Structure 1
Amino acid sequence: MLWFVVVVGLVDVVRCNWENWWTYDGISGPAYWGLINPAWTMCNKGRRQSPIDLDPAFLNYDCKLENMSVDKQSVSARITNTGQSLVLRVEDGQLAINITGGPLAYKYQFQEMYFHWGEPGRPGAEHTVNHQQFPAEIQIYGFNTQLYSNLTVAREFPGGVVAISVLVKIKDSPLKKETSLAQIISHLPEVTYRGGSSRVGFISLADILPRTDDFITYEGSTTFPGCWETVTWIVFNKPVYISQHDIDAFRRLKQGDRHHEKAPLGNNLRPQQPLNNRALRTNIALPAQKDVQGECSDPSTLLTYQQNSWLNTVVSPAN
């Protein structure tokens, strides 16, 4: 009887700690996510998985896509080194930062932000553009507040989640200290090791996003277990910039604790997934293609796209 009680207790421990069992490499890495937890089978069997390569050849102009709208107020948040990734979560009791417009039919509330980056000589973003890699990526998750109570519930159901991808480039000059992204980076020394957590004082999501109305959108999944296929992805057509000093601050973070540092926290990337005939829609168009009266132009007129020089944008119309 004692043996039975002990075994039940161990099962309960395993059930309660799935979040600690996965990694980005080895036998608990992405190839095995769908095997180590039955609730994560979509990681191996799903057909609308993320991340993907955004191939300009597959972009389709959708004249019905509106501009995105993001509330501009600031919130307090907490940034945590989970040992798998760096995650920022809005603290309870904050005013909602709503995300609407674009491909979204509902109102979504910002709740989490994930940071991805690579070690020197390695890619750092999960999404690519025409297979071009980037040093880092910021992923912003929100949940459908009109149908669900929080992100944990919403990610289980269709239309539950929006994810905004912000690709990151390196520039010579440092960020201004008053920017929200600079505030987050200033707290990184406090979360060097697994379990480290720090309160970040008032940050504005609108301040972190690039200054553009152009985006690419597709239907996909979370890029972490359980790979729920309930996510509308929005990738802005412009990068944000941080300095080499800033990216080095990310690279000093560790997977382990102070006594057993383990590997660097970076290289926290899920391999890219096949598109599987999903639509890649965009509101990027030539000025003549956009009607000032708000009506769609001739749908028989097709646009083709090409990768841009990255001075200002990701892709641009080729004709």
Structure 2
Amino acid sequence: MNLLICLLTLLPMIRANWDHWWTYDGISGPAYWGLINPAWTMCNKGRRQSPINIDTSFLVYDNTLSSVLVDKQPINGRITNTGQSLVYRVEEGQLAINITGGPLAYKYQFQEIYFHWGDSDKSGSEHTVNHNQFAAELQIYGFNAQLYSNLSVAKEFPGGVVALSVLIHIKDGFKKEKSGLEDIISHLSGVIYRGGSTKVGALSLASILPRTNEYITYEGSTTFPGCWETTTWIVYNRPIYISKHDLEQFQRLKQGDRLQEKAPLGNNLRPQQPLNSRGLRTNIALDSQKVEKSECLDPSTIMKYESSSWINKHSTLLN
């Protein structure tokens, strides 16, 4: 009887700390996310999971897809080493950064960025293109602000979440431009260990995004527990660049604290999930597909997409 009372006493505490019970490896890794917490069952049983490999032979051009619009005003937030990932979160009371257009039928409000990277300069992105992996990936999450009050609520409901995927490529010797990502990198020394958190002021989300209106979109899930299948993904068709030195600043981060550093924080990658019957739509128009929206496409003119030869050592992902 006393044991039962103890368990009942501890249950609310256990529920409140689920976010600390998962990792990217071992018995609390991705294969077990749906088992350690019944609320995360979609991680094991879902059919529309993320991340995925973008197989360009499956891409379908959709001439109704417009440009994705992101507000440009700067905001304040904090980056935090959670012990599983590096996460940027907007501070409360900020003027909303809205994400609209593209495949979105509602107005979404930016709330978080998750950063993913590996232990080399070629193995750090969760999404891939024809199985080509990138050095890193940042995932920008927003919630449906017209229906829900925040991301925690919205992720439970269909159409509640948008995620913008920005792939990152290493390129030394290029001319750096001032961007929000540079602002974040300059603060990484304050989040070396788990629990480390530091303020990043006047971040412009728009300045992080690649300079392109082209993207691929599909319906998927969050790539962290509980893998909610409520996410519209928008994967930009152009990476952004950082130097190898910049990547090394991410690779310095640790899963543990100062007394017990544990493993590096990187390699925080969920294994890729099957596409199943989902569609991969794009607004990337080949020459034969550049017709007015009112016109019908002649199926005989539709051509298949190909990935560039390792992005052609330049900036585009697809030809």
TM-score by length of 1: 0.95
Cα distance in 2, alignment partners of residues 159 and 177 from structure 1: 35
Q: Within 5 A, what are the aligned runs for 1:13-92?
A: 13-92=13-92
Is 1:312 the counterpart of 2:315 in the alignment? yes
C-alpha contact 1:33 1:225 (8 A) present in aligned 2: yes
Deviation, 1:4, is 3.9
Write the mapping of 1:244-263 to structure 2, written as runs, cut at 5 A: 244-263=244-263
Aligned pair in 2 of structure 1 residues 295, 171: CA closer, same or farther (>3 Å)? same
Q: CA RMSD in A?
A: 1.5
Task: Give unmatched runs, 5+ long, in structure 1.
Answer: none
Q: Distance in 1 between matches of 2:255 and 2:59?
A: 37
User: 1:39 deviation in Å?
Assistant: 0.2
How far off is 1:12 after superposition? 2.0
Quick one: distance in 1 between partners of 2:118 and 2:266?
Answer: 5
Shift of 1:297: 4.0
1:121, distance to aligned residue in structure 2 (A): 6.7
Indicate the residue corresponding to 1:284 in structure 2.
284
- Asked if the contact 2:288–2:303 (Cα under 8 Å) also holds between the matched residues in 1, the reply is no
**TM-score when normalising by structure 2:** 0.95
* Ranges in structure 2 where 5+ consecutive residues have no aligned partner: none
Q: Which residue is 2:294 aligned to?
A: 295
Deviation, structure 1 residue 6: 2.3
Q: 1:258 aligns to what SS in structure 2?
A: coil
Residues 130 and 29 of structure 1, relative CA distance in 2, 3 Å threshold: same
**Could you say what secondary structure the match of 2:5 adopts?**
helix
Tell whether 2:246 aligns with 1:243: no
CA distance in 2, matches of 1:169, 1:121: 8
2:122 and 2:62 map into 1 onto residues whose CA distance is 34
Relative to structure 1, is the Cα distance of residues 296 and 127 closer, same or farther in structure 2, using a 3 angstrom cutoff?
A: farther
Question: Cα–Cα, structure 1 residues 191 and 227, in superposed 2: closer, same or farther, change >3 Å?
Answer: same
2:183 corresponding residue in structure 1: 183
Give the match for residue 167 of structure 1: 167
Q: Please tell me whether the aligned partners of residues 188 and 249 of structure 2 are also in contact (alpha carbons under 8 angstroms).
A: yes
Q: CA deviation at 1:125?
A: 0.3
Q: Which moved more, 1:103-112 or 1:6-15?
A: 6-15
User: Quick one: which amino acid aligns to residue 128 of structure 2?
Assistant: T
How many residue pairs match? The answer is 315
Query: In the alignment, what sits opposite 1:203?
Result: 203
Amino acid at match of 1:257: D
d(CA) in 1 for partners of 2:28, 2:174: 37
- Give the letter for the 1:92 counterpart: E
Q: Deviation string for 1:142-174 (max 9, x for gaps)?
A: 000111110000000000000000000001137
Question: Conserved in 1, the CA contact under 8 Å of 2:96 and 2:109?
Answer: yes
Contact 2:55-2:129 at 8 Å conserved across structures: yes
C-alpha displacement of 1:71: 0.7
Which amino acid letter does the alignment assign opposite residue 260 of structure 2? H
Could you say what secondary structure the match of 1:307 adopts?
coil
